Amino acid sequence: MDDLKEKANYCLGCKIKKCQIGCPLGNDITEFIRNIKEENFEQAYKVLCQTTVLQPICGRICPHKKQCEGSCVRGIKGESVSIGDLEAYIGDLAIEKGYKIEKFTDEEYNQHIAIIGGGPAGISAAAYLKRSGYNVTIYEKYNELGGILMHGIPEFRLSKDILKRQINKILELGINVQYNKELGKDIFLSELEKQYDAIFLSFGANISSKMGIEGEELLGVYGGNELLEKGDFPEFKAKTVAVIGGGNVAMDTSRTIKKLGAKNVYVIYRRAREQMPAEQKEIEDAIEEGVEFLFQNNIIKIIGEKSVQKIECIKTELVKVEGDSRLVPVNIEGSNYQMDMDYVIMAVGSKTEEEIVSKLGLELSKNGYIKVDENGRTSNPKIFAGGDLANVKSTVAWASCSGRETAKQIIKYLEENR
């Protein structure tokens, strides 16, 4: 408790709330911390509930240093306020004490919304809609909700027990769930259109992108997203593994593989460390656990007959290119080298599942995402989309914000058609 008070009292309670501006969800951070200072913990929870239903989740896994804490005034000359720790504490306390997520209204409307996908965007949309008096059914392809939270983020970063308990708290609002229902196999958009007044697509975009280099088809080349989602790992014990990429998927994958007993795990990233999109804490944890980093190195070929035997890399230099906000990596001619390797894991980004998305009858962007307008509406006025599927920034807070804000637009649509 003393540590909690110290962290809360460190907050200056700024009138111009830069931390709130830095939070994708717009959480009123200084206000919930003020209530912690006064030991009014339930009120602190109510303040957070105005904008988020994922307090114990975001408090743990958000890239705080790039969002709320990165905008904290305290951080200009010293350490930022530990906003994530304080949010996680309130979220955990709400589970322990049974604090309820309050509804926005006692009205109940006879309009029904189907939500396809129970990840952060889908859960947040469902909660907002139900709190606003609407009937909601989530269709989830697995037997548990959570999306990437449940089937992508390792236990060492996010406790599945805490996640399940928070999801149950959200479901207590009265949200219906249909489990083991996969779009295109068990349920079809054309049928759902007839049953529901509106549909929100939020089933994510978790197919690992490829680099288009020689050897990606060899046995032993895997996608990091799929490995984390399915948890079906090959035998990594005493093996040498290369993980290509610099985001949190690369960190989660490399750390998981190291914990599974790999002898050597190399993260190969073509830019410098300070340019890595991964949270600094995740990078530091990976280094501490024995993961080795090869910065300013680019993989250009995977070598083997049937399975991976070696990789060929090339060193890079970073140059300023007009119109690009980041330094651009350029291969240094003649700096090629090879490394013996047992497995290669691609963690260079993700994309939609083309086989499903292409059959929805909706307009797509040139990159294969579902095209939406500023209100999250697709080319079908009855169908909305959000989160990764609509190419929203890939963090839990941004996905959650996408779900919440799209829910507001769905409500406007339903009001017009009531």
Predicted pLDDT at 224? 96
Element (H, E) at 243: strand 240-244
Predicted pLDDT at 156? 94
Give Cβ neighbours of residue 122 (< 8 Å, ≥ 6 apart).
115, 116, 138, 147, 200, 202, 203, 387, 403
DSSP state of 344: E
Task: Name the architecture of domain 2-97.
Answer: Orthogonal Bundle (1.10)
d(CA 229, CA 240): 22
161, exposed or middle or buried, with CB in 10 Å at 0-12, 13-18, 19+?
exposed
Structure tokens at 364: 């797509």
Element (H, E) at 103: none
The residue type at 253? T
| Segments of the chain assigned to CATH 3.50.50.60 | 112-205+352-416, 208-350
d(CA 84, CA 396): 13
Q: How far is CA 314 from the centre of its chain?
A: 31
**Spatial CA neighbour of 120 closest among 175, 183, 202, 177:** 202
Structure tokens at 346: 């691609």
d(CA 321, CA 144): 46
| Segments of the chain assigned to CATH 1.10.1060.10 | 2-97
Q: How far is CA 181 from the centre of its chain?
A: 22
**Spatial CA neighbour of 241 closest among 297, 295, 302:** 302
Structure tokens at 84: 């994530």
Q: Note whether 310 and 341 are within 8 A (CB).
A: yes
Q: Choose the CATH number for 208-350 among 3.40.720.10, 3.20.20.100, 3.30.479.10, 3.50.50.60.
A: 3.50.50.60
**Spatial CA neighbour of 208 closest among 390, 417, 388, 85:** 388
95, exposed or middle or buried, with CB in 10 Å at 0-12, 13-18, 19+?
middle
**Spatial CA neighbour of 394 closest among 352, 359, 331:** 352
Q: Note whether 241 and 345 are within 8 A (CB).
A: yes
**Spatial CA neighbour of 145 closest among 113, 172, 177, 173:** 177
d(CA 26, CA 408): 15
d(CA 192, CA 370): 18
85, exposed or middle or buried, with CB in 10 Å at 0-12, 13-18, 19+?
middle
Predicted pLDDT at 351? 86
Q: Note whether 266 and 243 are within 8 A (CB).
A: yes
Structure tokens at 92: 């955990």
Q: Note whether 25 and 54 are within 8 A (CB).
A: no
Give helix then strand counts, H and E, for the chain: 15, 16
CB count, 10 Å around CB of 333? 8
Q: Note whether 37 and 5 are within 8 A (CB).
A: yes
d(CA 167, CA 263): 37
Q: How far is CA 245 from the centre of its chain?
A: 16
DSSP state of 274: G
Give Cβ neighbours of residue 314 (< 8 Å, ≥ 6 apart).
297, 298, 300, 331, 332, 335, 336, 337
d(CA 204, CA 69): 27
112-205+352-416 has which fold? Answer: FAD/NAD(P)-binding domain (3.50.50)
Q: What is the model's pTM?
A: 0.93
pLDDT (tens digit, 0 to 9) for every residue of the chain, 418 residues total? Answer: 678 889 999 999 999 999 999 999 999 999 999 999 999 999 999 999 999 999 999 999 999 999 999 999 999 989 999 999 999 999 999 999 999 999 999 999 999 999 999 999 999 999 999 999 999 999 999 999 999 999 999 999 999 999 999 999 999 999 999 999 999 999 999 999 999 999 999 998 888 999 999 999 999 999 999 999 999 999 999 999 999 999 999 999 999 999 999 999 999 999 999 999 898 889 999 999 999 999 999 999 999 999 999 999 999 999 988 877 788 999 999 999 999 999 999 999 888 888 888 889 999 988 888 999 999 999 999 999 998 888 887 789 999 999 999 999 999 999 998 7
